[in-house]
Homo-oligomer: A and B are copies of this chain.
Amino acid sequence: MAQPRILAPADNAHQYPLLIKQLLLSGPRYNPDQEIVYANRSKYTYTDLVERIHRLANALTDAGVKPGDTVAVMDWDTPRYLECFFAIPMIGAVLHTINVRLSPDQVVYTMNHAEDDVVLVHDDFLPILESVKDEIKTVKTYIQLTDEKAAKSTTLKVAGDYEALLAKAGTEFDFPDFDENSVATTFYTTGTTGNPKGVFFSHRQLVLHTLAMTGSLSAYDEMPLLRSTSVYMPVTPMFHVHAWGVPYAATMLGIKQIYPGRYEPELLVDLLKEHKVTFSHCVPTIMQMMMGTESIKTADLSNWHVLIGGSALTKGLCDAGARLGIRMYTGYGMSETCPLLSVTHLKPEDLELPLEQQTNKRVKTGIAVPMVELEIVAPDGQPVPHDGEAKGEVVARAPWLTQSYFKQPDKGEELWQGGWLHTGDVASMEPDNTLTIKDRIKDVIKTGGEWLSSLDLENLISQHPAVAGAAVVGVPDEKWGERPHALVTLKPGEQADVEDIQRHLEQFVASGEINKWAIPEHIDFVEDIPKTSVGKINKKLIRDQLK
């Protein structure tokens, strides 16, 4: 069998490994005086950033950190965290971004599982660690982070205060070259069942994700999200998928960055206004909170572009944003995918419509970004038609997907099947390659050989004027395999019965939005719909209760 001509080792002697330190070359070179702002507290330049990253590398080394060690961070969204994004992987250690919203038990589980050696912890999270102190197995040293003059006193074994350690550390660190497949970052993703699972990304993967991000967020004139003149403020936490990897791209391009600290809606809006922020990424809940503030009413938001992810951007939210002048886009990805897979894709003709009429396009999951292969497949692994109707599980190939779950290779094998990462999301794809996520595969209702989206049904039921909320799950059915079962909550003082809801749904049969057989026979009116700790409908619990 003939083979391509592979470079012989001697012909490949000057290969340049892809390392995170290279992402720090160009931003400070282009824009040494560009600012990085910490909320209403402080700011510094890119030149300062570089010096502080060198100091941090020395401080960590002085504190005993070696290549291959794991250094964990528990902080709000701060320039300190940005420094950790670079310095920790750049010395060859692994950055573990701890999810500070987990329960103390889950936090300690992830710390022990990741085998953290050193932990950088903000005052506000000391109580969590102190409460589980005796269960923490591998940590040798803590470094304290504070926004006050002095860090809080603690019973943890502390090497010192971050700023004090940086102040006495050297300003030059000779960052080594090493294998680009070295692990750079790790963090834990939580499901409704079982322990958190650790995903991990290599230097190579983060560099490629960053480079491809400029291909998708910089080059499109219809969506000028990441541009040299952008002002960037993350509104999804840095512990979660490296704030979607945007801090790396923003730094590479030398863009002004605003780190908000805590997510207090009034503060976020004040920062938007003060710094004329042009680009953020955000989850719907926080966006709702920001849009509910008093001060947003006096903000000029006509140049604020927001990538919405985490959960679906609803038409209602997108419309409400458009009325304030906010340009929203849907981003799609997950912890396992670094995360970027696809983004809303607007064309020049889409922008000819008034903003309020662009919603239908903006709420779609969009088109896969450069270097990503996306497909939707049936349970047998075969692609389903791209007709905007047929549903399949979203599977992906790209150069930046987690290769497995840390120390859980069996879970990794479930994730990767046939050479594709299986997202667990169900979607349709239009002939123009636009993806629309319909459901989680474990929530989709398999009835009569068809896949019925529980989310679609919930959305339609919710449009009944008496309905406050709805949850639909599949329940076993001898004839059809599964049938939809709806739980409905009513607005205070409103009334409706099963037939009202069914009649309401029939209009969508007439308009072609659902099939006749999608209308549930089983509709229960309930006081509350069970939710998970992060506010999502707990469909597993509902299914268990209905059994």
Report A's interface with B, CB cutoff 8 A: 2-7, 10-16, 18, 22-23, 25-26, 29-30, 32, 66-69, 92-94, 178-179, 181-183, 200, 202, 207-208, 211-212, 214-216, 218-222, 226-229, 252-253, 345, 348, 367-373, 397-399, 401, 403-404, 409, 412, 416, 419, 421, 432-433
Contact = CB atoms under 8 A, between A and B. Distances in A.
27 contacts: A2-B68, A2-B69, A4-B67, A5-B183, A7-B181, A7-B183, A7-B202, A10-B409, A12-B181, A13-B403, A13-B416, A14-B421, A15-B181, A16-B397, A22-B373, A26-B372, A29-B367, A211-B211, A214-B215, A214-B219, A215-B218, A215-B253, A218-B218, A219-B227, A219-B253, A229-B348, A252-B370
Contacts of A348: 229
A12 B3 CA distance: 22
A420 to B, nearest CB: 9
Nearest to A404: B11
B68 A25 contact: no
Contacts of A16: 397-399, 401
A229 B221 CA distance: 7
Contact of A25 (B32, B218, B221, B370): B370
A7 B182 contact: yes
A22 B179 CA distance: 23
Contact of A433 (B29, B69, B227, B416): B29
A309 to B, nearest CB: 19
Given A25-B370, A207-B371, A219-B228, 20 more contacts: A2-B68, A4-B68, A5-B94, A6-B181, A6-B182, A7-B183, A11-B403, A13-B403, A16-B401, A18-B399, A22-B373, A26-B367, A26-B371, A30-B345, A208-B211, A211-B211, A211-B215, A215-B218, A215-B253, A220-B228
Contacts of A398: 16
Contacts of A432: 32
The 7 A-B residue pairs with the shortest CB-CB distance, nearest first, are: A4-B182, A4-B92, A2-B66, A211-B211, A218-B219, A26-B370, A16-B399
Copies in the complex: 2
A231 to B, nearest CB: 12
A397 to B, nearest CB: 6
Given A211-B208, A214-B215, A67 B222 contact: no
Given A4-B178, A214-B214, A218-B219, A416 B14 contact: yes
Contacts of A2: 66-69, 92
Contacts of A433: 29-30
A348 B34 CA distance: 13
Contact of A15 (B10, B222, B403): B403
A102 to B, nearest CB: 23
A216 B30 CA distance: 10
Nearest to A373: B25
Contacts of A399: 15-16, 18
A26 B366 CA distance: 12
Given A4-B93, A6-B179, A25-B373, A221 B215 contact: no
Contacts of A93: 4
Contacts of A219: 214, 218-219, 226-228, 253
A421 B30 CA distance: 22
Contacts of A371: 22, 25-26, 207, 211
Nearest to A345: B30
Contact of A215 (B5, B200, B252): B252
Nearest to A421: B14
B30 A367 contact: yes
A376 to B, nearest CB: 14
Contacts of A15: 181, 399, 403
A200 B214 CA distance: 27
A316 to B, nearest CB: 28
